Structure 1
Amino acid sequence: MPSVSPVIRSPALRGRDAEQDILRRLVDGARGRSGGAMVLLGAPGMGKSAMLDFAVDQAEGFVVLRTRGVEAEAALPCAGLHGLLRPVMDRLPALPAAQAEVLAGALELGATGGGLALPASVLNLLAAVGRPVLACVDDVHHLDAPSREALFFAARRLAGERIVLLFGARDDGPAPEGVPELRLGGLGEDACRRLADDLAPEGLGAELRASLIEIARGNPLALRELVGSLSAAQVTGAAAPPDTLPPGGRLWRAYADRLARLPAATGDLLLLLAADPDLDMASLVRAAEPACALTLLEPAERAGVIVSAPGDRHDFRDPAMGPVVYAEASSARRRAAHRLLASVLDHDHQRLRRAWHRAVSLDGPGERLADELAAAAAAGSHRGYPAPWLAFERAAELTARGDVKAARLAAAANRAWHAGLARRARSLLTRLCSLTVSEEVRGQAELIRGSLELRSGKTGSARDELLSAAGWLLDRDRGRAVRALLRASEASYLAGDNSRFLAIARQAAALRRPDDPAATQLMFEYLAGIAATFRGRHREAADPLRRVLEIAPSVRNPSVLVWAGVASLLLGDDVRALGLSTRAVEAARVRGAVSAVPQVLEFMIQTEIWVGRYASVAANAVEGLRLAQESGQLNSAGQHLAWLALTSAVEGDEETCRIRAGSAIELAGAHGLGVAGALGNWALAHLDLAAGRHAGAAKRLRATARTDGTNGHLVVRVMATPHLVEAAVRTGEHEQARAALRVLDRWVGSTRSPDRLALAARCHALLAAPGEAEERFRDALDLHHQGLCEFETARTQLLFGSVLRRNRRPGAAREHLHSALETFERSGARLWTEQARAELRGAGETVRSRGPKAAEKLTAQQFQIARIVADGATNREVAARLYLSPRTVEHHLRNIFAKLDIRSRVELVRLLS
């Protein structure tokens, strides 16, 4: 019997589902005498070897042959064939004598002889093995020419054979004609996150993970090596994360070896591209004179090192190669490259880049270079290379004066924070401790620290630091001082501490001046309007809120657009609020204000809740949660978790709702987040109400009225009032319902919003005497039909239909109940759908489900998990996609199998296909 190579089990492959399917079909086809071949093309580290391992794993019952091209043996004729075919040479007697002689001579002596004899004998030997054969050749670009030609000859003639030939090759070389190709590109962001989670040590935060993913650029080996290179200090955040691939690692060495083969003049141009990733062709040509840059770049293009890019530029084919080019050059060569770049980047719009290159090359006195770089970094917004925070950091490094150095480090920290680099911002602020710091810089640093604490720490600490910063800045930078006060008020808002919020608003009002610029006036008006709203003086609040909307068009800033959106929401103009919050998200993204996006999404979601756009709420909350985690904003993550809990409650997914709400409430307790805790309680109350647990809902909603900063919040209490009234009426607590409704009425009456007026009218209908209730419900529905929220319209129809049924008017009840049922089914609201069906059955009508039979037996979350699993996802992949734990997914899957009376994933695929 022929010997079989050992089967190497490959690790889990992330983001390669389609490629795995192709290889699986290829191997299965060979079992039925439909053999074939495939060339796997990809850059170093993209997973070609792992895919070959996967194919081996699928080849049960096959004879597996493997070899790898070795550059040192590329000049040895037939060395590759020798490595691949030795295990089956005992089948040589099965060949015609002439072919056996040729093949033996090739493997023993390296004799090729030319013609068809050698390639034909290779094909016939593989066919003579007597069992299906999988032959894998990795690094085929290093194989000797006779071996490569013979194997490609065989690969084109496998129809009707039980043979699979797989080749792994770099994507920069010529592929064989007539052999199908499978190109392995970079992994997607979701796959990178899942792979990082597989590899990560305990305690790897989302922010650090995102930094590693950005460096790896979709290369799985790069991500593996980056995670493996982390120090304990980097994992905990005490040290800055890596900036490049680990020097000396396998991927680094592969890139360095590849670059070493290029001509020296080509290497000089590549160094320019590495030193300035934004370098355009015109500047490169000027730098290369008198040589021709296009000619010198040709070797790098042929080797697949660089590719053409938009904007008349060249990029490294693999972005991770640029830092290797830069680091492998000597210090003198790097400085010369920067000086040359500074001399050719002489346009006004290239001011920051020019100053950067001069500062890095030390082309002049350090202090002068630092002043030039800091001035360029401060001159307006800049997108591209270098990042402004990096420019300020370099300027600080070149500055000897302690106070100026401190100011530049503070500016670097501020820019890093806005770019979503919280760890980097904290690291830069830490360096201030050893410097002489002026009161103004101290105030700026406290403002940044307070902002970081506001997004990721305790709200009480954030408020105190921001108030301190406002005091330091007031006589030096009035605009920043007012902004610090506004953020301090936001800390009190997040905590649900209305008394502290109102105190800060009074402090701010005393600082107003008639000559304040528009942005500062807007902040004062915003605080005045919110403060009046919190006091219940809604008509008094209307004027400053309208002035916010009047001033907003003259100020371009995502935060200003958010404040204007909140003003619109409080005035009851949901359409305008949606438009403003959408513009705020777009503005934050365009400006590269990564840290602002999760916060802006919070306010967009709040508007979407009012109009019942729960599918959009879920999508935005998932994105907001991811961005908040990756930028280290735990407080924002808490709110997004709570919004996701609310969407789970709407869907009727009890287990997921409890997990998400519990996480939000836990974060709220640790960080003093009254708003996140109140939202989590509201989500659980919505779930109780949908399931008919009215006493539980009433108890949870009472918690949102707390004023001690634990899971209570005025805004959430008002938003949840319709649920509280419904639950309280069902449990006989009419006075509590009336008290809550009086607060809602005062606000709703000032807004003229049909959606809000409809909710108030519904609450009055629930509290009305039997003879009056029907008229109140009709008023509510008339208002609903003028508004935007279909979901709350359906909730009112359900309640009205229930009243009509109890009043023995089943025909009239069915009309409203049918309409409610259609909306609930369309929204995927399982528990509300069940309530509507139960009411219809009570009204004398038989109701059948419109969904698939499997869906009837599962909760919304279970059905979603079942569909994802049926598509081939693992438990960890499902968990990553749905923000659950793998253990929770496993628990769900056991329940799914039990409910559907199945035992395996294969049966699940068949059932749902």
Structure 2
Amino acid sequence: MSPVKRNEEVAVLEELLTDSLLVRSRVAVISGGVATGKSSLLCSLERRARESGAIVLGAVASPLETGLPVGVLEQLFSSPELPDAMAERATRLLNSHRLPLLVWFRGMWDLLRGLTEHRPVVIGVDDVHHADETSLRCLLYLVRRLRSARLLTVLTERTRPHTAKAPLHTEFLHEPHSRLIELGPMSAADVADLLRSRFDAGTARRLAPALHETSAGNPALVEALLEDYAAGPQPLVPEGLAGRAFGRAVVGFLRRHEFPVLDAARALAVLNKPLPPRLLGMLLDIDAESAARAVATLASAGVLHGGRFRHGVAQAAVADGMPAGERRDLHLRAAQLLHSEGAAAAEVAEHIVASNHGEPPWALPTLREAAEQALIRDDLDTGIRYLRAAHQMCGDERRRAVIAAVLADAEWRVDPTMVLRRLPECDLAIRENLLDERYATAPLTSLMWQGRLSEALRTVGTMLRNGLGAQSDEHPAVLDLIPLQHWPSYLYPELLPPAWPGDAVQPGNPVQPGTTVRHGPLPHGPARPGTIARPAPPSAAAPPSDGGDHAEPLLVTRLRRGDIDGALGAAERILERSRLSEQTFVPLSIALGTLVYGARPARSAPWCDLLVEEAATRRSPTWLALFTALRSLIDLRQGDLAGAGERAETAWNLIPRKGWGVVAGLPLSCMIQVWTSTGRHDDAAALLETSVPEAMFRTPMGQHYYYARGRHHLAAKRYHAALYDFRACGSMRADASIEPWRLGAAQTLLALGREPREARRLADEQLALVSPIHLRTRGMSLRVKAATLGLPDRRPLLERSAELLERYGDRLELAHTLRDLGDLHSRTGGHERARELGAKADALARQCGIPCRAAPPDGDEGPGVPGLRLSDAERRVASLAADGYTNREISKKLYITISTVEQHLTNTYRKLNVKRFDLKGALQAGEIVLPPSGPALGTGGRHVRDADVRH
């Protein structure tokens, strides 16, 4: 029985077989499309006939033997079921087929008649439409003259739509006792029945609709889907039915069709779109009518629906089943045809890439156009793929260099490391002045990003010499935002760009490294000692007014003049008027950095969030990584440790480690500070093992890194290592607002038990250097300075520190200050106020993600456990000891015995796990599990008048 049960058709054939066994000659023609089960049905009948005692004579016609005379008859009468005498007689007759036709036919008739008189005979010819004409004529002759013999003749034919049926084999249907059995696709009920016979009823009910839809009821494809289901992991969902067996079955199914069905299927698989018969015929070099018939055949077989493949697995299998050379040639013909028909560049480009042929003169421009369209849609993968193909196919060195620069522009958005191999060609394109500013800036950005500063400066000089730094009417939003000659100094503060338009760098004379400069990403306040101030510009070279279309370059001049409010306004105007793109990425990054370092969290955070969203929408991992890292910096400086850590980690993993270049210090420093603050010291130490470029330490990112490492060393009580890092941070040429390293150094000196005078000097210097608008840094400085003073002088500084930090919004630093203020109240007798401030500090610490430890009862802390609370008496004694008083002096001040002083100090040393010279730093760290107090990272706040903070 056929694997796909066809109960009605089997019943008809068994009825005909029964009639033929009762001396009633019968004829059956089984008609159907390819792989509808005709051969299986015939085989089933032949097996049933043998079981009934009949002689079965079978043959399979082939298109290769259509022209071979008596080919089918030779197969029929070479059957091993024939008696030997009959077989010898049949051989002689077949060898004499050149006799007069009537004589030869009568001999075959006499042979077959004698055979039917002995036993019933079943003749089965599969694919009769391929049979040779002589065999068909002879069979027709025998059937007509043996109508009363015990003979059943069964033929299978393929339905061929839109063509007339072959006249000879259709003559069999004119016999009085003939039957036509037409096999169509399986119904959904048939598929369900088949599934129930193989699996359970639940599986049949769940899979039958999808299996019928995918196979279009074709029995061969149904069997293939069942094979995939049986081989796949259980349970398999209906959407995942089709697999390798299904793909192989589709290819095998198409190979059984006549030309040009398979060729049409391959063309449509390669094109992946419906094609009118005229164009399909042109592609295959056949007439439109033949192409239409081929498509109709594929549609009737269920392979196509609406001119497309019904299933992607089938399409892929057909396309992949082509020899590689033929597939490339087909793609090239498709590209030529579509180009001549005016198809979209993207449609043509797919076939150019697949053909790997760029010889036609229109091929490379088409790839460039398609790539540009893809990049506009932010389909980076497609755009890069087209550009890489164009770059590979281009044989002209100059044109290839231009393509390399355009490609570098796109690749940088995905992974900055990919651009490095393009830089030599990009340099050629820039030197030859082959690029406009849209594409010349990507190589420059990559060189600065990777720390190749000398090459970047040479590139700036070449671009200025070629006129790319001038204002452009064609691309007004590119270099007009921030002039080209100013770009390097924002990442490398050692470079000094010209201060005013009248003092501009001349083409061919780029700024050289080593020039002294006082500012980094955002220069504020008076110049540091040791810097060289530029002379004031003449009045004729005064900076431009705020009006006009080119007001944004004022960001540069405002920063140079120390006009922080003006610079922040100019930065926001850049952010307001510019959408994120390849050309605006650097200016927008500079503008955002100006707000971040300008102590403006309320203004910088929304802009940063917007840029993060735009970078994600535009699918650029590089852009998203940088803006997410900057957002982490904002979070950190507002005490949101959880948000800062999550964002920094996300940014760090968006692009390869090497891709970060000199900017690696930004996410690394944020993570190091967060892990240090939350007690994950091993994780922070592991990050410090990460290799970073040496050039990073010429950028503000190096300052971030040194400061974060210093905080980590300070938390681990490696005081001398911490002091080294803080001083290294201070040795860099960057603004004091980047990281308040002096405060870290001051805290380290206090922890070392040094004379407070040096720590106080550093805190005073920090206060003098930062602008009044830097509320956070000023608040931190006041707190550190308070630790260097006697108790009576601390309170106003700590209260002012708390006010500034609260206005800024840094909860972590505010918690530190409140803890110090509470300790001060406790030591001066204000115990109620001390408890109130301590509770508030604890709550803020928890909000920042730092757990607080509750104070155990006195005497129940456990030996050597740091971080436990001291009693009020112990705190008062420890504070005086930390301030340098002897035990005798403490006993006199507090009116207690020396023995009591020693007892309190012994308990304090045990609780804090410190010695006497470490008391100062331990007490400053607070009695909750906070990191060593000091700056984290962060931005902005509200404007403060210069007179708001005095010390």
TM-score after normalising by structure 2: 0.51
Tell me, in whole angstroms, the C-alpha distance in 1 between the residues paired with 2:604 and 2:662.
Answer: 23
| Partner residue in 1 for 2:235 | 181
- Give the equivalent residue in structure 2 for 1:451: 445
The equivalent of 1:526 in structure 2 is 555
Superposed CA deviations along residues 405-426 of structure 1, whole A, max 9, x for unmatched, are 4323322232222343643x44
Whether contact under 8 Å (1:287, 1:344) holds in the other structure is: no
CA contact (8 A) 1:755 1:784 kept: yes
CA distance in 2, matches of 1:334, 1:181: 39
712, 727, 730: which is aligned to 2:748?
Answer: 727
Look up the SS of the partner of 2:492 in the other structure.
helix
What is the distance in 1 between the residues matched to 2:565 and 2:349? 49
* 3-state SS of paired residue (2:656): helix
> Within 2, Cα distance between the matches of 1:549 and 1:767?
39
Q: How many percent of aligned residue pairs carry the same amino acid?
A: 13
* Whole-angstrom CA distance in 1 between matches of 2:866 and 2:699: 37
Q: Which amino acid aligns with 2:763?
A: L
Q: Which residue of 2 aligns with 1:413?
A: 408
* One-letter amino acid matched to 1:718: E
The alignment partner of 2:376 has SS state of: coil
**What are the equivalent positions in structure 2 for 1:520-669 lying under 5 Å apart?**
522=552, 524-532=553-561, 537=562, 540-557=563-580, 558-629=585-656, 632-663=659-690, 666-669=691-694
Gaps of 5+ in 1: 1-73, 76-146, 157-168, 187-251, 308-314, 847-913
Residue 649 (structure 1) shift: 0.6
Q: Tell me the residue number matched to 2:488.
A: 488
CA deviations on 1:539-573 (whole Å, 9 max, x unpaired) are x2332331221243122124444333223234432
Q: Partners in 2 of 1:728 and 1:741 — Cα distance?
A: 12
| 1:260 pairs with 2:289 | no
Aligned to 1:467: 460
Give how far 1:354 is off: 4.6
Which of the residues 332, 338, 341 maps onto 2:335?
A: 338
Cα drift, residue 155 of structure 1: 13
Match of 1:12 in 2: none
| Structure (1/2) with the larger helix percentage | 1
Q: Cα distance 1:407–1:775, how it changes in 2: closer, same or farther (>3 A)? A: same
Give yes or no for contact 2:612–2:627 (8 Å, CA) kept in 1: yes
Deviation at 1:627, TM superposition (A): 1.9
Change (3 A) 1:435 1:371: same
| Distance (whole Å) between structure 2 residues aligned to residue 442 and residue 466 of structure 1 | 14
Judge conservation of contact 1:389–1:413 (CA < 8 Å) in 2.
Answer: no
CA displacement at 1:257 relative to structure 2: 4.7
Residue in structure 1 matching 2:767, options 745, 762, 765: 745
For the pair 1:381 / 2:376, whether they are aligned, the reply is yes
Q: Where does residue 240 of structure 1 map in the other structure?
A: none
What one-letter code is carried by the residue in structure 2 that aligns with 1:745?
L
Superposition deviation, residue 623 in structure 1: 1.9
Please give the per-residue CA displacement for 1:801-832, whole angstroms capped at 9, x wherever unaligned.
33333435444323222332333345443699
Tell me the equivalent position of 1:763.
784
Retained in 2: the 8 A contact 1:642–1:661?
no
Match of 2:795 in 1: 774
What corresponds to 2:121 in structure 1? none
Q: CA deviation at 1:660?
A: 0.8
Aligned letter for 1:549?
A: E
Give the CA deviation at 1:648. 0.9
Deviations 1:271-313 (A, max 9, x none): 666667xx7x8999998995479948954899x9976xxxxxx
Q: Give the whole-Å Cα distance in 2 for the aligned partners of 1:834 and 1:462.
A: 60
- Residues 758, 779 of structure 1: 8 Å contact kept: yes
In the TM superposition, what is the alpha-carbon distance from 1:489 to its structure 2 partner? 2.1
Determine the C-alpha separation between the residues in 1 that align with 2:458 and 2:351.
Answer: 37
| Structure 2 CA distance for partners of 1:464 and 1:365, relative to 1, 3 Å | closer
- 1:392, 1:150 → 2: CA distance? 54
The answer for unaligned runs of 5 or more in structure 2 is 1-39, 42-193, 204-222, 255-259, 282-290, 473-477, 497-512, 522-533, 857-864, 876-951
AA partner of residue 576 (structure 2): P
Cα distance in 2, alignment partners of residues 306 and 612 from structure 1: 56
Q: Say which SS state the counterpart of residue 771 (structure 1) adopts.
A: helix
Q: Which residue of 1 aligns with 2:432?
A: 438
2:739 maps to 718
Equivalent residue, structure 1, for 2:841? 820
Between the aligned partners of 2:694 and 2:225, the Cα distance in structure 1 is: 53
Residues 424-448 of structure 1 show CA distances to partners (whole Å, capped at 9, x for unaligned) of x444455679999724459998754
Query: Do the aligned partners of residues 592 and 746 (structure 1) sit closer, same or farther apart at CA in structure 2, a change above 3 Å counting?
Result: farther
Tell me which amino acid in the other structure corresponds to 1:758: G
Q: CA deviation at 1:581?
A: 1.1
- Report the number of matched residues: 596
Sort the Cα spacing of 1:692 and 1:330 in 2 relative to 1 into closer, same or farther, 3 A. closer
TM alignment of 1:152-301, pairs within 5 A: 175=229, 181=235, 257=248, 260-261=251-252, 263=254, 291=295, 295=299, 298-299=302-303
Deviation of the 1:255 alpha carbon: 10
- Which whole-Å CA distance do the structure 2 matches of 1:382 and 1:512 have between them? 42
- 1:426–1:744: structure 2 CA closer, same or farther, 3 Å change rule? same
Q: CA deviation at 1:580?
A: 0.8
> What letter is aligned with 2:803?
D
Which amino acid counterpart does residue 794 of structure 2 have in structure 1?
A: A
Q: Deviations over 1:350-392 (max 9, x none)?
A: 4544566578779998334434543564578233488334444
Residue matched to 1:366: 360
Cα distance, 1:562–1:736 mapped onto 2, change above 3 Å:
farther
SS of the aligned residue for 2:409 comes to helix
Quote the Cα distance in structure 2 between the aligned partners of 1:696 and 1:832: 28
Find the residue that maps to 1:410 and give its secondary structure: helix
User: Which residue identity lines up with residue 684 of structure 1 in the other structure?
Assistant: R
1:269 & 1:834 partners in 2: Cα distance?
Answer: 79
Tell me how far apart the structure 2 counterparts of residues 746 and 294 of structure 1 sit (CA, whole Å): 83
Structure 1 residues 459, 490: closer, same or farther in 2, change over 3 A? farther
Partner of 2:503: none
2:705 is aligned with 1:683: no
**Structure 2: distance between partners of 1:324 and 1:716:** 65
| C-alpha separation in 1, matches of 2:407 and 2:844 | 51
Aligned residue in 2 for 1:829? 850
Flag the 1:184–1:807 CA change in 2: closer, same or farther, 3 A: farther
Secondary structure at 1:383's aligned position in 2?
coil
The one-letter code matched in structure 2 to 1:337 is A
Kindly state the Cα deviation for residue 672 of structure 1 after the two structures are TM-superposed: 4.5
Query: Is 1:791 the counterpart of 2:812 in the alignment?
Result: yes
8 Å Cα contact 2:463-2:469 kept in structure 1:
no
* Structure 1 residue 468 displacement after superposition: 3.9
Matched residue, 1:840: 869
Q: Which residue identity does 2:662 align to in structure 1?
A: N
RMSD: 5.7
The match for 2:821 among 787, 800, 803 is: 800
CA contact (8 A) 1:565 1:578 kept: no
Calculate the TM-score normalised by the size of structure 1. Answer: 0.53
Q: Distance in 2 between matches of 1:484 and 1:459?
A: 17
Are the equivalent residues in 2 in contact too, given 1:651–1:829 (CA < 8 A)? yes
Which whole-Å CA distance do the structure 2 matches of 1:258 and 1:490 have between them?
Answer: 63
Q: 1:468 to 1:570 in 2, by over 3 A?
A: same
